[in-house]
Copies of this chain bind each other. A is one copy, B any other.
Amino acid sequence: MESSQGTVSQFTSNTIEVGTEQRIFNAALEVFSRKGKDGARMQEIADCAGINRALLHYYFRSKNKLYEAVFAHGFEQFINGLSQSLRSERSFESSLRTFVHGYMDYLCEHQDMARLMITECLSGGPVLESYLATAIAKREKLPGFLMEDRIRQAIEVGEIREVDSEHAMLTIVSACLFPFVALPTVRLFQPKAATDFEEFIAERKQHIVELILSGLRIP
């Protein structure tokens, strides 16, 4: 139980010499994110990590502990990702572009984590909610809040038209995040999402920024 505490925070995306604990960690994220906490099987995680089932219990005491560890790490990463880049004062257009691109870049790199949090949400999300609740206490850390403040500020200065900043923020997040949630389905409708994912994402970023900017422009 000590071993997980000590090393979790030092995970890197280094390709050389990936340790057992991290392989377990990655595999767990992958499986949990697709099957949910209950649906996930320890055997599948072990197979995915290329090790024995018993090792899962050696590094993380139980399935519950493993899930908690995976979730906590991903959540931390999720919050800290965007916050810095949003603080600098620039035009609203520049802020929006920064947010959309940064958010979708994160989602591309951490699709597992996105699925995991959505799965949490769907199940009523007691774990996610407790994490969010404490995060909301320190309001300034959440990228979503930063961007929403930016919207309000832009309205005051007359940079964009008057809209409900909370709904606008929700719409922006939805437009960025939902395609990842529904990816298997999206692929059926938009073949490019299957054949050339990078280009699909690039197009999507541009579409969202343009649509929102145009939608918030003062008539």
Contacts and interface: CB of A to CB of B under 8 A. Distances in A.
A171 interface: yes
Contacts of A34: 122-124
A190 B170 contact: yes
Given A39-B37, A129-B184, A178-B178, A164 B122 contact: no
Interface stretch (A50-58, A78-86, A209-217): A209-217
| Chain A interface residue number, banded | 35 or more
A132 B187 CA distance: 11
A176 to B, nearest CB: 8
Contact of A38 (B35, B115, B216): B35
12 contacts: A34-B124, A35-B36, A37-B39, A115-B122, A121-B185, A124-B184, A132-B188, A133-B188, A136-B188, A161-B214, A164-B203, A174-B174
B171 A207 contact: yes
Copies of this subunit = 2
A203 to B, nearest CB: 7
Contacts of A118: 118, 122, 181-182
A41 B36 CA distance: 13
Contact of A181 (B168, B175, B181, B204): B181
A185 B219 CA distance: 33
Interface string A5-37: 000000000000000000000000000011111
